[in-house]
Amino acid sequence: MELEQLEVNLFRGASRDIGTSRVFGGQVLAQSIIAAGRTVDEGSIHSLHSYFLRAGDAKAPIVYNVERTRDGRSFKSRRVVAIQHGRPIFTLAASFQLEQEGLTHQFDMPDVPMPEDLTSESDIPEDRLESVPPLLRRWFTRTGPFDFRPVQKRDVFNPQPQAPRSDVWFRLGEKIDVSDVMHRALMAYASDFHLVGTATLPHGISFIQDDLLMASLDHGMWFHRPARVDEWMLYSCDSPSSSGGRGLARGLIYDRSGRLIASTIQEGMMRVGKRRNDGIKS
């Protein structure tokens, strides 16, 4: 997540190989938050709105250009453009706020099992792994920084239609001593997992099937309260609609004490392609 500063408002980041052919969207989102945060002296990010424009090249660095849109007394606005090979691949608009007191309310956390009573999603039988292509096998067996423990078990190898709802506990695998902005950036990174996939649940389809085309189109996030990403948090997602080759998903992130930490929303492209005689998707 660390960025190299090239010039005032200009940063460069590298990509982490997580077993996919493209840059993971959550990484670009998190690095954009960090780039914007490097230009803010006081305050924490409280909201963001972003668009994924092009697939990122995992083998090339990403340059982040930050525009200091406004510095007010309570709120500061930033715009970030992520650039690869001379073209924008991602844009972010973010707002930072000085800490203030105010009225408080929230939705209650769902009544679900605690993470200690669940198993990691990476616990997949060896015979199942042997049936998938090498690149996908690497995705399943990756040793990532986060531990995800789903409440509702789903068989991605034999998906069945189910309610468009997903609850997943997650946390960073090791304790870290970093800034609040970094904790929020890493939370945003993790929030790109499991979100838009919730829109596939009613249709009995899986991201591993080779005729499914999925890609994040945008990502919105609101940070309500500070929290540590190296402690357990519950990601409760639902999908109110899919239509027009797009699926919409929403998420609420709670800490284990039940405090609502953040809210997310994302729309993604979701197309099931027909195959021609030569096996190419149309």
What would the two tokens of residue 90 be?
């991602």
What would the two tokens of residue 44 be?
């924490």
The CA distance from 84 to 210, in Å, is 27
What number of CA atoms fall less than 13 Å from residue 133's CA on the CB side?
8
Q: Is there a catalytic annotation at residue 167?
A: no
The CA distance from 172 to 145, in Å, is 6
Helices (H), the chain: 25-37, 126-129, 134-140, 180-191
The CA distance from 251 to 265, in Å, is 6
Quickly tell me which residue has 């994924």 as its tokens: 52
Please pick, among 192, 230, 236, 263, the residue that the annotation labels catalytic.
Answer: 192
Residue 87 phi/psi, 5-degree rounding, is -130, 145
The CA distance from 97 to 278, in Å, is 55
Helices (H), 67-223: 126-129, 134-140, 180-191
Please pick, among 15, 27, 32, 216, the residue that the annotation labels catalytic.
Answer: 216
Q: Is 63 helix (H, G, I), strand (E, B) or coil?
A: strand
Residue 215 phi/psi, 5-degree rounding, is -160, 140
Q: Is there a catalytic annotation at residue 266?
A: yes
Q: Is 56 helix (H, G, I), strand (E, B) or coil?
A: coil
Helix axis angle, 180-191 relative to 25-37, nearest 10°? 160
Please pick, among 27, 95, 242, 266, the residue that the annotation labels catalytic.
Answer: 266
Q: So which residues are the catalytic ones?
A: 192, 216, 266
